[in-house]
Amino acid sequence: MTADRAPEHRPVMTAEVIRHLQPGRGGTSVDCTAGLGGHSLATLEAGATHVIGMDRDLDALAHARTTLAPWAAQVDLVHADYRAISSVLESRQLTHVDGALADLGVSSMQFDEPGRGFSFQRDEPLDMRMDRSGGDTAADLVARADERELADTIYAFGEERFSRRIARAIVEARRATPIDTTAKLAAIVRRAIPVRGYQRIDPATRTFQALRIWVNRELDGLDAFIAAMAGHLRVGARFVVITFHSLEDRIVKHTFRALEKRADTAIKVLTKKPLVAADSELAANPRARSAKLRAAERLA
């Protein structure tokens, strides 16, 4: 897939993002996970005068560049992990911004684009890296980790109660042949889990989620990032975070609450409970069903 033909993309909960972010006041907004550029585009259309779009996926940034081409003079796209927010702003001689968004999790492009290895719907290399410019693949970690580390990872990040059975099956299977494709791993997981009547989701789903989080360190430093981003907001600026599973949402909730009690980076949480996608959005975009949005405002 080439950069001049972006895949169909529906940014999640765009109306709720704009309502809470309030980009109509102008200024510089940071899209910490630019993805294909949908939220950045909506932010500019709503009145932001400048957007810094960060993403660790070079393919996503290429598509975002196409999406945002009409606004190119007002957009600064950066290949960087959102946890590098302080250094990105410092390199641009910025200390404070007028709004920030972090849409966490995997983008539709990463799930759908062949060869990425995030989904077991196709048989392809077991990669799962959001940033393919370096680092271990899921196949690397599955080949190297011992049984206990695999079990603990699948339990902690996938909340999978059969994690020990799955880890044991993986270790036994890799003695015979490398587990280097999505189909191989999915088949091993499915055989390891007892079948008991109707199953709402594929038995491999939680294990794939766990490995993806592990490969991309999705929870590492998330609380520190939220605190750092809050510290870079001007007084009255808003920070919106969208999560897609309970582990992320729990960290965002507790970090926001902790920041409310701090004097140096005081914020006001604007969402007592996380917002979820409206029924009309779910009908058009079923992937929004697990999205939860929380927002906060920087206080004086």
Kindly report, as residue ranges, where domains of CATH 3.40.50.150 are found in the chain.
14-105+219-298
Kindly report, as residue ranges, where domains of CATH 1.10.150.170 are found in the chain.
120-216
pTM: 0.92
β-pairing, 233-243 vs 75-79, is unpaired
Could you list the pLDDT tens digit for every one of the 300 residues in the chain? 333 334 456 799 999 999 999 999 999 999 999 999 999 999 999 999 999 999 999 999 999 999 999 999 999 999 999 999 999 999 999 999 999 999 998 877 888 888 999 999 999 999 999 999 899 999 999 999 999 999 999 999 999 999 999 999 999 999 999 999 999 999 999 999 988 766 778 999 999 999 999 999 999 999 999 999 999 999 999 999 999 999 999 999 999 999 999 888 889 999 999 999 999 999 998 889 999 999 999 997
In sequence order, what are the residues at sequence separation of 6 or more whose Cβ sits closer than 8 angstroms to the Cβ of residue 294?
Answer: 240, 241, 243, 249, 252, 253, 256, 269, 271, 274, 275
β-pairing, 28-31 vs 267-269, is unpaired
Q: How far is CA 273 from CA 9, 95, 134, 149, 239, in A?
A: 27, 30, 37, 34, 15
| Amino acid present at 252 | V
- Domain 120-216 - what CATH class? mainly alpha
Domain 14-105+219-298: give its CATH code.
3.40.50.150
